[in-house]
A and B are shown apart, each in its own frame.
Chain A
């Protein structure tokens, strides 16, 4: 791209905010009552997180991998790509994250959780709660209407925040590579919403930054020390 410095974020925005949020409205309409199942899965994540241990870790990873794979196909490929050619690349990234969750969390069982968490763990649980119950309310509270609500497991943003929260709550030192795609999405989503002058444009970058700082500041288990279970 020549003279790249002359481009602004809005130059990459191919659609209007109205079209973007209408996408969620039609998506929700097509999937109803799938939202109930998605929220049930989210609540299951909360319960499993509290139980801790390797077996629930595998189930958590399986649920998240399913959600990421679903969004890759049903949202990015089937819908978002209709107004944004870059969505095919987003779909690929979401599919990669689904495979990584499957490999690291389900097959290798590397995601484990403890019921009593440190500050980062508590922040992770708070992020999961936010993604499940508060993030879907943002749109309606900002005047976009209930039908355009973005729901965990179906829409990218709350699913990404929930995933970041769960990864932050996991026993540190394992599966940090799983943070890469969700953190990149925080940048992409924040940039898109910023270009649309959306009042909630900073939510995703703020969540990503919080996770990045807390994950970086977390103490790895000492080499040779028994794993925390």
Chain B
């Protein structure tokens, strides 16, 4: 586990890498957060900077009414915010996760800092507005920053409603989501035909189908990309953690497997933010460390792919 803050060393390393790379336009911006150099990427449609590591809530934040578990989730959120994190992602599909996020935001008083990304997941689409309002109440926030059509469910009805919310100033960004490679053809079609701000897909060192068409299309169309299931719900970490971290991980300042796998994802120039989920403070600190220091270049990324395939 890395130390919670890798301040001056990380900054020096990052400056070195920026100089070496000629401050390429592909490299993300760096912002100060709690004394650490946190890597951000601009949302293409507005230029707003977003930290490249966010926080997912699938399974991990669905703890029901268990007060102890809720407080543990709030502690994860506290550490996430203290490390400079902003985007938290959830869905009405995730059981009590929205309510638990609302509990955490209320307890921490961080509603103003959060970049609230939620989803609409209901059919028929006419029931969408009521679900969105219920979700907002559970989050206990004035409005969402981003609403996404979850797994394209009833997207033909939900998307116009979301764009109308955005036009009315009640929503900042609109997106769609899919996971585990489903309906990529439909995702591409919607990306081409609608002025999306975000698309959310699964992407990791093992599942790289989106590299072929969706990520390049997102760059071409100026659509921000959120990456879900970066660790394949923990299975990928469990698989690689049995093996030692390769020595060349130091070339991109990855101190552990979690950081190496996350850096692989956020190093892709089309990716805006990855959203690993966890219930453990140590893990969220580890994950946020992936937003510090150098990122792997393309040869290093391919080396990691080959390495993981051999494990």
Contacts and interface: CB of A to CB of B under 8 A. Distances in A.
B233 interface: yes
Contacts of A15: 59, 62-64, 95
Grouping DSSP codes into helix (H, G, I), strand (E, B) and loop, the B interface class, with mixed when no group exceeds half, is loop
B36 to A, nearest CB: 30
A6 B65 contact: no
B59 A16 contact: yes
A22 B67 CA distance: 11
Interface in A5-21: 6, 10-11, 13-16, 18-19
A14 B233 contact: no
Contacts of B64: 15, 19, 23, 79, 82-83
A85 interface: yes
Contact of A22 (B59, B69, B96): B69
Contacts of A6: 180-182
A116 interface: no
A55 B279 CA distance: 53
A222 interface: no
Contact of A83 (B63, B182, B183, B279): B63
B183 A16 contact: no
A5 to B, nearest CB: 10
A79 B59 CA distance: 16
A26 B66 contact: yes
Interface residues of B, number: 19
Nearest to A85: B95
Interface in A139-177: none
Contacts of B59: 13-16
Interface in A31-74: none
A2 B63 CA distance: 28
Most buried by B among A11, A13, A19, A85: A19
A82 B182 contact: no
B140 interface: no
A2 B233 CA distance: 22
A19 B66 contact: yes
Contacts of A82: 64-65, 95-96
Contacts of B69: 19, 22
A3 B95 contact: no
B17 interface: no
Interface of B: 59-60, 62-66, 69, 93-96, 152, 180-183, 233, 279
21 contacts: A2-B152, A2-B182, A3-B182, A11-B180, A14-B62, A15-B59, A15-B64, A16-B59, A16-B60, A16-B279, A19-B63, A19-B66, A22-B63, A22-B69, A26-B65, A26-B66, A79-B64, A82-B64, A82-B65, A83-B96, A85-B93
Interface of A: 2-3, 6, 10-11, 13-16, 18-19, 22-23, 26, 79, 82-85
Given A3-B182, A16-B59, 19 more contacts: A3-B183, A14-B59, A14-B93, A15-B59, A15-B62, A15-B95, A16-B60, A18-B279, A19-B63, A22-B63, A22-B69, A23-B66, A79-B65, A82-B65, A82-B96, A83-B62, A83-B63, A83-B64, A84-B95
